[in-house]
Amino acid sequence: MTITETTGSTHTIVTICGTLDASTAPDFRNSPAIADPSRTVVIDLDKMDFLDSSGLGALVGVLRRKQEANATILLSCMNPPVRKVFDITGTCKLFHIFDDTDAATDYAATYLRGR
Amino acid sequence: MPQPPLRHPGNHNNAMKTLIAIKEQHQSWVRDAFPNMHPLLLPLCNKPFIEYLIDFAILAGSREIRLLSDGSLMEIEEICQTGSRWGVELTYANIRPEDGERELLHKNRKFCNGSRTMILNGYTFIDYDKRLDYRVLANHSATGPIASCSTGSIAFAGPPEPAADDNPLPALRITPLDSLRSCYHIAMQILETGAERYVLPGYGSEPGCAIGRNVAIAKTAEIRKPVSIGNNVQLLPGTIIGPMAVIGSNVIIDKGSSISGSIIFDNTYIGEQLEIEGRIASGNTLIDPESGASVAMEDPHLLTGIHSATNSATLLRKTIHALAAAILILLQAIPVIILYPLLRLQGKWKNGPITQQAGLAETLAARLSLDRFPLLPKVLLGQLAIIGSAPRSNSPGCRPAVFSYAEAEDWPVTGSDAAIVERYHAVHSTPFNDIGMTIKALINRPHKRNAGAAA
Amino acid sequence: MAFRLETQNGITIGIAELDERLDAENSKALQKACGDWQQQTPFLVFDCTKLDFIDSSGLGAIVSCLRRSLEKNGDLKLAGLNAKVSMVFELTKAKKLFSIFSNASDAAASFAASRQP
């Protein structure tokens, strides 16, 4: 798995490439924008090819911490197999999910700034 | 389900998109009333709710439809797949319960792609007419909602085309689908206005009468239009179906019962001499759509009208079953004695031979139903019946048995279908019929296994 | 099962209040009690206001009570059926056998009215 961070003024775009599972979840958690609870991130899942329960657990855990600090996670470009994981587990309700990374960043900039 | 072709508009100037957004909060009543049914599959006159929305989206000129929900869409995705059945491209996405129209559009910006988008928001029924052209409406309506009710709305986003002529736009009425009562009334309205307005499943040589596949209608059964009947339905002698009856799939209506102004959902058995008027029946529950009151029809006598049960039949049944088991034991003893050491040595005998693999000995064991041999002594002891509910089934109201009626009948042996066949025979079969059914089961089981439906 | 006698217009009417459940456990008891009541009068009213659950044996008991009242040239009328109980009566066509009233006093009054010249 490789993680790329692109930092903007209000939020950071995090691109995850590859697999998010038990072995890569710690790296994900330690990525700077993810580890900072007050930073709102847009996670681009376009190149994520596999997500297992520990990966999902990491995502939900990070979301909790960020929400406590008044920030959040926005997900974008989820492919059908990854969407199924969110659907089956009911975690789709927890996240804002966009089909486009630009739309997600606009959303972060316009709607979330006021909070 | 056969779908008459819906006309597609030409692919002119960036075809319209449709977002269908349905939230759990509006569907909770369906989950309460029918816990095993996905609310989007709620049948309205034997057609799942979601198909009406898809049909309307197509009539409005959409070729790309996205289904949005704050709940699970897996079941819908399995059934609707990519939408190729309707000639459209169907995709799925998740939203949050609090999302408004603005958020829906934002979250699906790539999908909408700046083109004209129709948003069907909420759990509502759209009273469309398939003969009308809704493309005019879709292309020329101003941005914003064009119809709304307490549980949802139809709205448009994106640039409208300037009105080319002064053709009046067809009026649209949407009705909240917010209770059993509204579900009942909408289904009745669909049945009444019939296939003229909606694309409905089933075949019929005359209007007001749609009948599905594998429907057996007794000579003395009477059908009074309008009716809609699903697949795998048995109407026994003396039944009166209709007027205004919607019978789902896998339904048996027993002798002398009448159904009018009612909806019988899938997988339902209606006993003898019953009268169902203005009700919804689902499984063993009978519901009054107006008051919401429901009664369980699990009482075996309620399934068969009023007459007292006699217990003398039980002893006769047990005796005959024991005799049949004894004969079977004698018949199977020789093959068992020959095959047991053989299969035991190969490790293919654990509480009965393993009959799935394709060796000669296993095939022979399967053909002779030797896998059930160890159960037969229990019939002699009266602990099991020779034929009854699914082998060794222990659910209440069943007659646990070595063979099941479903195995004997050439019915599709999925769970609920089998339960209905078994319930029917449990009520009707005499001890002597049971012997015949046992022989049928013995003949049919290996045949089914070969067909790939191993018990 | 409270039972009382009322006299209206010269007719003695027996009014029985049924309990919450009428099923295999207590339907025999109802039939037996009803036999005693019918010694006193064939004009009966079953007040079903409290009745919330009835199964086929309960239904059978009520139908046999009706049959015996009819044999004695009387009648058995029902009053105060709730939606669930009413559905069971409709489903089994038993509803057609009975005169059904919204409350016990209407049912009793109908016996008196039928005797008016």
Residue B160 sits in the same domain as residue B70: yes
Cβ under 8 Å to B: A residues 54-93: 78, 80, 83-84, 86-88, 90, 92-93
Please state, in angstroms and rounded to a whole number, the distance separating the CA atoms of residues B305 and C63. 13
Residue B416 sits in the same domain as residue B329: yes
Beta bridge partners of B149: B152
Tell me the pLDDT tens digit for each residue of B183-197: 999 999 999 987 788
Tell me the pLDDT tens digit for each residue of A49-84: 899 999 999 999 999 999 999 899 999 999 999 999
Our count of domains for chain C comes to 1
Which residues on C lie below 8 Å from B293 (Cβ)? Answer: 82-84, 87
Write the CATH number for C108. 3.30.750.24
Write the CATH number for A22. 3.30.750.24
The chain C residues in contact with chain B (CB within 8 A) are 55-57, 59-60, 63, 82-84, 87-88, 90-94
Asked if residue A7 belongs to a domain, the reply is: yes
Whether A90 and B107 lie within 8 Å, measured CB to CB: no
Tell me the pLDDT tens digit for each residue of B220-267: 999 998 999 999 999 999 999 989 999 999 999 999 999 999 999 999
CA B416 to chain centre: 9
Mutate to test the interface with C, among B280, B294, B297, B301 (most CBs of C within 10 A): B301
Contact indicator for B313, B204 with CB cutoff of 8 Å: no
Write the CATH number for B24. 3.90.550.10
Question: How many Cβ pairs closer than 8 A exist between chain B and C?
Answer: 50
Whether C91 and B276 lie within 8 Å, measured CB to CB: yes
Residue ending a domain, among B165, B196, B227, is B196
Asked if residue B55 belongs to a domain, the reply is: yes
pLDDT at B218 over 90: yes
Whether C92 and B273 lie within 8 Å, measured CB to CB: yes
Residue B363 sits in the same domain as residue B440: yes
Residue B220 sits in the same domain as residue B107: no
Which residues on A lie below 8 Å from B93 (Cβ)? Answer: 78, 83, 97, 99
CA dihedral (C57, B300, C54, B264) positive or negative:
negative
Domain of residue B291 covers 209-304
Whether B96 and A88 lie within 8 Å, measured CB to CB: no
Residue B288 sits in the same domain as residue B388: no
Q: Where are the beta strands (DSSP E) in A1-115?
A: 2-7, 11-20, 40-44, 48-51, 73-76, 96-98
The pLDDT value given to residue B308:
41
Whether A96 and B107 lie within 8 Å, measured CB to CB: yes
User: How high is the mean pLDDT of chain B?
Assistant: 82
Asked if residue A100 belongs to a domain, the reply is: yes
Closest partner CB to C92 (pick from B274, B288, B291):
B274
Report the complex ipTM. Answer: 0.91
- CB of A22 less than 8 A from some CB of B: no
Our count of domains for chain B comes to 3
Which residues on B lie below 8 Å from C82 (Cβ)? Answer: 293
- CB of A99 less than 8 A from some CB of B: yes
SS3 label, residue C30? helix
The chain A residue lying nearest B107, using CA atoms, is A98
Give Cβ neighbours of residue B73 (< 8 Å, ≥ 6 apart): A87, B67, B92, B94
Asked if residue A90 belongs to a domain, the reply is: yes
Identify the band that residue B6 occupies on the pLDDT scale cut at 50, 70 and 90.
Answer: very low
Please state, in angstroms and rounded to a whole number, the distance separating the CA atoms of residues B285 and C2. 32
The chain A residue lying nearest B70, using CA atoms, is A93
Tell me the pLDDT tens digit for each residue of B53-107: 999 999 999 999 999 999 999 999 999 999 999 999 999 999 999 999 999 999 9
Helix (H) or strand (E) holding B287: strand B285-287
The pLDDT value given to residue B205:
76
Chains A and B touch (3+ CB pairs under 8 A): yes
Whether A97 and B97 lie within 8 Å, measured CB to CB: no
Whether A99 and B93 lie within 8 Å, measured CB to CB: yes
Token duo for residue B229: 């009947």
Give Cβ neighbours of residue C71 (< 8 Å, ≥ 6 apart): none
Closest partner CB to C92 (pick from B279, B294, B306):
B306
Tell me the pLDDT tens digit for each residue of B270-319: 988 899 999 999 988 899 999 988 888 765 445 444 444 445 567 787 88
Our count of domains for chain A comes to 1
Which residues on A lie below 8 Å from B70 (Cβ)? Answer: 92-93
Which residues on A lie below 8 Å from B71 (Cβ)? Answer: 90, 93
pTM summary value: 0.73
The chain B residue lying nearest A76, using CA atoms, is B107
Tell me the pLDDT tens digit for each residue of B152-193: 999 999 888 876 666 666 778 899 999 999 999 999 999 998
Domain of residue A91 covers 2-108
Asked if residue B5 belongs to a domain, the reply is: no
Identify the band that residue B358 occupies on the pLDDT scale cut at 50, 70 and 90.
Answer: low
Contact indicator for A72, A101 with CB cutoff of 8 Å: no
Closest partner CB to A93 (pick from B70, B107, B110):
B70
- The better pLDDT of the pair A33, B345 is held by A33
Using 50 as the pLDDT threshold, list the residues of chain C that sit under it.
117
Residue B171 sits in the same domain as residue B318: no
Residue B51 sits in the same domain as residue B117: yes
Whether B110 and A93 lie within 8 Å, measured CB to CB: no
- CB of A112 less than 8 A from some CB of B: no
Domain of residue C70 covers 2-115
pLDDT at B13 over 50: no
Min CA distance, B153 vs chain A (Å)?
A: 22
Closest partner CB to A87 (pick from B73, B108, B111):
B73
Across the beta sheet with B251-253, the strand order is B215-217, B233-235, B251-253, B268-270
The pLDDT value given to residue B235:
95
Mean pLDDT of B104-131: 92
Min CA distance, B215 vs chain A (Å)?
A: 36
